[in-house]
C-alpha cells in the first residue's frame, strides 16, 4: 500500500489521555502540525472552506440526540478545538433545536463565534445555515425574514451560505418559486455571501441552478445524505450534476447517524428514536463495519511504522550528524546525552499520535466521502469526537481500499432511508435536456 508521508498525517496536540498517562510528559511544547495544509482547502463559490466541516444538528435536539443545556461548555470547547485546527465550515439550520430550544444550534454557534479568542480565525468562519420550507413561508419576503432571524441568532452581519433546507416541488410546487426568489432576495440584499440547497434531487437541482443563474445568483453547494450507507444512484447522479455545474457537494450524515463509527451493535443501541433505525440496519452491516475497522487498523499500524522510519531516517540521522547526542567537553553546558532521552520520548509520542489517529473506523468512513469529492460534515457532540474526526484529514484511502469499502457496503441488505423531498430522474435525460 502506497502512503505519502509528506501529508500532515499527525496532529501532535491531541494525544489521548491514556497515551499521556503511560508516558512522561515532554519538557517542551509538543509539535503541532495542522490536520491539513492551507492548499488543501476547498473553493466553494466565493468562499474557501476546510475539506471537512462539522454539523450541529445535535446542538439543541433533545429528542433524537439527547441534548441538554449542561452540554454547552463541552460544545464550546469542541467548537474552539475545531476552529483552532482550521475547520471553518459549520452547518446548522433555523429548524435545529427541539421545542422551546428551537434555533438553539444557531444561537450556540453565534455565542461560540463571539467568544472565540482570535479575530483572524473568527473572521474566517463560514456558517452554512438552512431555511426550512415551512408551509407558512409562502412568499420570498417571509424567507428574507427567516434569514434575518437567523442572522440575529448567529450574531453576524452576513451568513456564509444560505441554503434551502428542502424542496417543495413534490408536494407544493407553487411554494417552490417563493423559495427560489427568497434566496435571490437574500443574496441581493447582501444577507448571505453565497446560496446553496439541501435535499434537492438532480432534476430540481438543475432547474434551480438555471433559474438562479439567470438572476445573476451563483449556486455554490448542494447538501445531500452521502455516505457508505447512502451511495445509491441518486447520490451518484447528484454528484455528476454538481461536477458538471461547478457546485460543491456537501455530504450530510457521513457516519450514518453514528452507525459507521462501529460503536453501536444490536445489543448496544443509542437512546431515543435512532435505536429503531439502527435495529433494522445494523445486523446487515457486519461486512462494512469489518472492512472499516480492518482498513483503520492497517492504516494505523502502517502509519506508525512509516512515522518511525521517517523519524529515524530524517530527524535522528540529521541530529546525529549535528553531534546532537554527544557529550560536550564543557561540563557547564547542556549535557547533550539528555537529548537522546528527550528524543526518544518525543518519538514515542509521535508514533502514538500516528497510530491513534488512524485506527478508527470513523475517520475511514469520513475519508471515503472526501475521496469521492464531497465535503463531509460529520455531526459532533464532544471534544473527543472532534479530535478523532480531524484524523480524517491530510491523507487519502487508496483505490483498492475504496473498492473494498464499496463492495462491503453493497453487501449490506439495508440502506439508509432517503430523504422523501428529493426529486428523481435519469441523469442522461436530465443532462441531455440541459444541453
Q: Return residues touching ligand NAP (CB under 6 A).
A: 55-58, 91, 130, 198-199, 223, 252-258, 261, 263, 270, 362, 377-381, 385, 388-389
Task: Choose between 223 and 307: whose C-beta lies nearer to ligand NAP.
Answer: 223
Task: Choose between 300 and 378: whose C-beta lies nearer to ligand NAP.
Answer: 378
Q: How far is the CB of 162 from ligand NAP (least distance, A)?
A: 13
Catalytic residue among 67, 96, 187, 200: 96
Contact 85, 40 (CB under 8 A): no
Task: Choose between 349 and 389: whose C-beta lies nearer to ligand NAP.
Answer: 389
Q: How far is the CB of 68 from ligand NAP (least distance, A)?
A: 13
Task: Choose between 161 and 346: whose C-beta lies nearer to ligand NAP.
Answer: 161
Report d(CA 4, CA 371) in Å as an integer. 15
Only one residue has cell 439508509, namely 416
Task: Choose between 106 and 401: whose C-beta lies nearer to ligand NAP.
Answer: 106
Report d(CA 196, CA 205) in Å as an integer. 10
Q: How far is the CB of 153 from ligand NAP (least distance, A)?
A: 15
CB atoms within 10 A of CB 319: 15
CB atoms within 10 A of CB 100: 9
Of 292, 296, 284, nearest in space to 410 by CA: 284
Report d(CA 364, CA 291) in Å as an integer. 10
* Cell output for 365: 468512513
For the chain, what is the largest distance between any 2 Cα atoms, rounded to a whole number of angstroms?
A: 87
The vertex-165 CA angle with 240 and 71, nearest 5°, equals 115
- Helices 361-371 and 399-410, axial angle in degrees (round to 10): 110
Task: Choose between 140 and 376: whose C-beta lies nearer to ligand NAP.
Answer: 376
Q: How far is the CB of 198 from ligand NAP (least distance, A)?
A: 4
Q: How far is the CB of 268 from ligand NAP (least distance, A)?
A: 11
Measuring CA to CA, how many Å separate 27 from each of 332, 338, 344?
A: 20, 12, 13
Q: How far is the CB of 60 from ligand NAP (least distance, A)?
A: 11
Q: 120: burial class by Cβ within 10 Å (0-12, 13-18, 19+)? A: exposed
Q: Which helix (H) or strand (E) holds 277?
A: helix 274-281
Of 220, 212, 205, nearest in space to 425 by CA: 205
The reply to whether 187 belongs to the active site is no
Active site residues: 96
Amino acid at each position: 500500500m502506497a502512503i505519502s508521508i509528506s501529508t500532515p498525517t499527525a496532529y501532535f496536540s491531541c494525544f489521548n489521555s491514556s497515551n499521556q498517562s503511560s508516558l512522561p510528559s515532554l519538557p517542551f511544547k509538543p509539535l503541532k502540525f495542522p490536520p491539513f495544509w492551507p492548499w488543501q482547502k476547498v473553493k466553494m463559490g466565493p468562499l474557501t472552506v476546510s475539506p471537512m466541516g462539522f454539523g450541529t444538528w445535535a446542538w439543541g435536539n433533545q429528542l433524537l440526540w439527547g441534548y441538554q443545556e449542561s452540554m454547552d461548555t463541552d460544545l464550546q470547547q469542541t467548537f474552539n478545538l475545531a476552529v483552532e485546527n482550521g475547520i471553518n465550515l459549520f452547518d446548522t439550520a433555523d429548524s435545529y433545536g427541539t421545542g422551546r430550544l428551537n434555533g438553539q444550534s444557531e444561537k450556540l454557534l453565534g455565542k461560540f463565534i463571539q467568544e472565540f479568542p482570535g479575530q483572524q480565525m473568527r473572521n474566517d468562519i463560514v456558517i452554512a445555515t438552512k431555511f426550512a420550507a415551512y408551509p407558512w413561508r409562502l412568499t420570498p419576503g417571509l424567507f428574507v425574514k427567516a434569514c434575518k432571524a437567523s442572522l440575529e441568532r448567529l450574531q453576524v452581519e452576513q451568513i456564509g451560505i444560505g441554503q434551502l433546507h428542502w424542496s417543495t416541488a413534490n408536494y407544493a410546487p407553487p411554494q417552490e418559486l417563493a423559495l427560489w426568489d427568497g434566496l435571490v432576495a437574500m443574496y441581493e440584499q447582501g444577507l448571505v455571501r453565497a446560496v446553496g440547497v439541501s435535499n434537492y434531487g438532480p432534476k430540481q437541482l438543475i432547474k434551480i441552478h438555471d433559474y438562479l443563474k439567470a438572476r445573476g445568483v451563483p449556486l455554490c453547494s448542494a447538501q445531500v445524505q452521502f455516505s457508505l450507507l447512502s451511495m445509491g444512484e441518486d447520490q451518484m447522479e447528484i454528484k455528476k450534476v454538481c461536477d458538471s455545474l461547478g457546485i460543491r457537494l456537501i455530504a450530510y450524515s457521513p457516519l450514518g447517524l453514528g452507525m459507521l463509527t462501529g460503536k453501536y451493535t444490536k445489543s448496544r443501541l443509542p437512546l431515543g428514536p435512532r435505536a429503531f433505525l439502527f435495529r433494522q440496519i445494523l445486523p446487515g452491516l457486519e461486512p462494512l463495519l469489518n472492512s472499516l475497522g480492518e482498513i483503520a487498523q492497517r492504516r494505523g499500524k502502517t502509519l506508525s511504522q512509516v512515522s518511525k522510519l521517517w523519524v529515524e531516517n530524517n530527524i535522528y540521522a540529521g541530529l546525529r550528524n549535528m553531534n546532537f547526542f554527544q557529550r560536550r567537553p564543557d561540563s557547564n553546558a547542556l549535557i547533550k546525552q539528555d537529548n537522546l532521552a528527550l528524543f526518544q520520548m518525543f518519538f514515542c509520542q509521535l508514533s502514538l499520535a500516528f497510530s491513534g489517529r488512524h485506527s478508527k473506523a470513523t475517520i475511514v468512513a469520513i475519508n471515503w466521502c472526501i475521496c469521492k469529492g464531497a465535503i463531509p460534515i460529520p455531526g459532533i457532540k464532544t471534544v473527543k469526537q472532534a479530535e478523532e474526526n480531524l484524523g480524517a484529514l491530510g491523507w487519502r484511502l487508496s483505490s483498492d481500499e475504496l473498492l473494498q469499502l464499496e463492495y462491503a457496503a453493497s453487501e449490506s441488505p439495508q440502506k439508509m432511508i432517503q430523504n422523501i423531498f428529493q426529486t428523481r430522474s435519469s441523469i442522461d435525460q436530465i443532462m441531455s435536456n440541459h444541453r
